Amino acid sequence: MSSLNFYIVDVFAETKYTGNQLAVFTNAANLTSEQMQLIAKEINYSETTFLTSPQQISGGYNVRIFTPEQELPFAGHPTLGTAYILQREIIKYPVPKILLNLKVGQIPVTVNYIDAFIECMWMKQKEPTFHQVLDAQTIAEVLNILPDEIDLRFPIQEVSTGVPFIIVPLKTLESLKRTKVNQDKYFEIISTTDAKCILVFCPETYHPINQLNVRVFCDYLGIPEDPATGSANGCLAGYLVEYSYFGKQKISVRVEQGYEIKRPSSLLLEAEKKDTAIEVNVGGKVVMVATGEFV
């Protein structure tokens, strides 16, 4: 295997060393799937991406996403982080939109600039789909909380915009902070669900600028807790609109995540119900941290 160039970025981050870490390999066309998986395991971030086509194919760039344990068809912060590296290191001039060819399909990323520098990036996710509704008692046992800490005005449900998540509405930040996954109960419940990761959220926040606080647990993927999860928050955005969580079917909210694991993150969610379809966009900032070479 010849030397490989890589970049490290923090995604959904306001400053360096916050948000969700991502490694992006830009000359991965000759790597096998097995080699990509080994490298992702070595990096040991929640995800690592590999650019397998330096030129556009069908208008987009071929990208593969790996956790330390397996390949994913889609993930949020790897999509934004990879698009950032594509603009900065491959394209090298301002473009309004970058298309990524992922296993889930082609995902567009819109780029906002200030004086030719990237200010914020937005990805349009697949239309959300809504699946199995789960029992509050069962989920409470998984999360080591009481059933009445769950906001039962809204369902506990599997939602997907490419990767499914179990969405759990809690009442208070205190409950969210105490949440701790019971491994035995967790692996028992996910044996019956398509979703293998759990997003819990509440309307109380650390900072008044934010409308929601979120935690995401993904032990099945080798990620005990994720600091910023674009795919899960896309599912949440669809859920908020579907069930009129804020009393309306159009939202623009700011979400905080990762505070409990000391990686504070900021995600922007926009979603709207148009006829019977829900359009979901998730945005945030990306910060360059490092460049390097695998030898």
Catalytically active residues are 47
Q: How far apart (Å, rounded) are the C-alpha atoms in residues 197 and 218?
A: 5
- Number of other CB atoms surrounding residue 249 within 10 Å: 15
* Residue at token pair 């060393």: 17
* Residue at token pair 């890589």: 6
Say if CB 25 and CB 6 are below 8 A apart: yes
Say if CB 241 and CB 232 are below 8 A apart: no
Tell me the C-alpha to C-alpha distance, in Å, between residue 52 and each of 6, 48, 211.
13, 13, 38
First to last CA, the chain: 8
H/E/C letters for each residue in 89-114?
A: HHHCCCCCEEEEEECCEEEEEEEEEE
* DSSP one-letter string for 193-262: -S--EEEEEES--SSTT-SEEEEEEEGGGTEEEES--HHHHHHHHHHHHHTTTTSSSEEEEEEEE-GGGT
Here the tokens at position 267 are: 């995600």
H/E/C letters for each residue in 173-201?
A: HHHHHHCCCCHHHHHHHHCCCCCCEEEEE
Helix (H) or strand (E) holding 266: strand 265-274
